[in-house]
A and B are shown apart, each in its own frame.
Chain A
């Protein structure tokens, strides 16, 4: 039986291997054919003219993710602080499931909501179609809230309560005690929550593709329509052929590399946290 269990456990190894092989076997030759520099730093994506530069999409992904963090991280961290020390038990019983529900709403529903509510608001605020960077950033910021809230909350909770109490006893206010003494102790947990949020935002597809405008240009204002790497794949896969299709796979390879970097920094922080935990004990 042990062998059966082992084989099942090896499934995830096999799956990752298969995904890597499929992506890289077609993506890397495509990058080589287009030319690595032309592909990654090329500014024009015109499949009909065989121009495959994905720099606008890379920039788009980074901008939108950064925007989502600017909106989502402060709100998420402060909400976690609220849940940690300000929230009465009765309110907690309501807010905690609400945060969980926020995490459960399908991304297509977020996209739809943004399409019918936020896009019209943006149309009024700016003279554009309403689909663009800011709209997508707001929605992604909302979508990563639950991730940031729950990791930050558990990081705060796992910090030694004596830091908080000691700080209060020394005459610091409640706010100062939390931000000046509990936060440094919970730093790595909060940071890993933010990194998880970045991973979720950069990989999000369906919500983004409906509200971001999808122009393959560099954004001029925060209302400009842009395109992310994920949107590029989902938009053009339906009809792409030949080198065009391979270029889309190559886009996925670049996305994959981004995700691997994010994962790596996440496990580095986790590793540090464990080492520190051992030291403290």
Chain B
């Protein structure tokens, strides 16, 4: 005989169930709406004149901003990744978890995560642009952003290093390898997917950042060729277009490019996540 179990129900539970579905639909619908709306309104505005080498007020080309974004991203990572990875190595491989200095490092790293980007911008403006006299420059923007993404890299690297089995370390030590060799030949390579996912997160933050950059790297509209040049990234470019109020169509086009980049970054990070879970 087949046993039939009727699902339990009562009116309040039914209402709650409906609310749960409604909430999920709202979340997904808003995302689809934002992405869809911007793509539909923006793609027709992607004209060739927006991708010219020189920015003029006539063509409002975003190509210099795209190149600047790449420059700032790469240079920021060059500073933040080694610092962050080394810091995580110290926290995981060299220190006792209970020591005061580790606690201090953890508290400050958490604090850095919480500071709003405009406060970073303000700090960068006073420390680098004014006090060190660099003016609005690529260098000021890069260092500000490097401080901002540092905690992201430290945290993800730390998690990745902790996930490496202790037996790897014991095996390596047992074979006579030193601590440094164990770290760089064995532990860091096995933690690589995790470290990379941190780097991808950092790239996402750099590309999307506006408030910390307006007053550090400034709004220079041409491609930066030296560290002292003022340079706007794509997000800052979009802000400039909007605050001038004349270039809504071009802002749509810029938003499309930004969205495509963000979707690409997300795809890369989920592909990496799949690889991590396989290992």
Contact = CB atoms under 8 A, between A and B. Distances in A.
B is bound to A: yes
Interface of A: 1-2, 4-6, 8-13, 15-16, 18-19, 22-23, 26, 74-79, 81-83, 86-87, 94-95, 97-102, 104-113, 115-117, 142, 145, 149, 171-176, 179, 199, 202-206, 210, 230, 233-234, 237-238, 248-249, 252, 255-256, 259-260, 262-263, 267
A249 to B, nearest CB: 7
A173 B87 contact: no
B180 A1 contact: yes
A95 B21 CA distance: 12
Contacts of B35: 101
B262 A2 contact: no
A119 to B, nearest CB: 12
B170 interface: no
Interface string B81-109: 01110110111011000000100110011
A252 B204 CA distance: 25
Interface of B: 8-10, 12-13, 16-17, 19-24, 26-28, 30-32, 34-35, 37-38, 41, 82-84, 86-87, 89-91, 93-94, 101, 104-105, 108-112, 114-123, 125-127, 131, 147, 150-151, 154, 180, 204, 207-211, 214-215, 235, 238-239, 242, 248, 251, 255, 258-259, 262-263, 265-266, 269-270
Residue of B26, B115, B180, B269 with most chain A CB atoms under a 10 A cut-off: B115
Given A22-B126, A75-B26, A174-B13, A9 B115 contact: no
B13 A106 contact: no
Contact of B16 (A87, A175, A267): A175
A108 B90 contact: no
Contact of A81 (B20, B38, B122, B154): B20
Contact of A106 (B41, B112, B210, B251): B210
Contact of A5 (B32, B89, B127, B263): B89
B133 to A, nearest CB: 15
Given A2-B90, A12-B87, A104-B265, 19 more contacts: A6-B90, A8-B82, A9-B87, A9-B105, A13-B108, A23-B122, A81-B20, A94-B28, A98-B31, A98-B32, A100-B266, A106-B207, A109-B38, A145-B27, A172-B8, A173-B9, A173-B10, A234-B118, A259-B114
A16 B118 contact: no
A259 B248 CA distance: 34
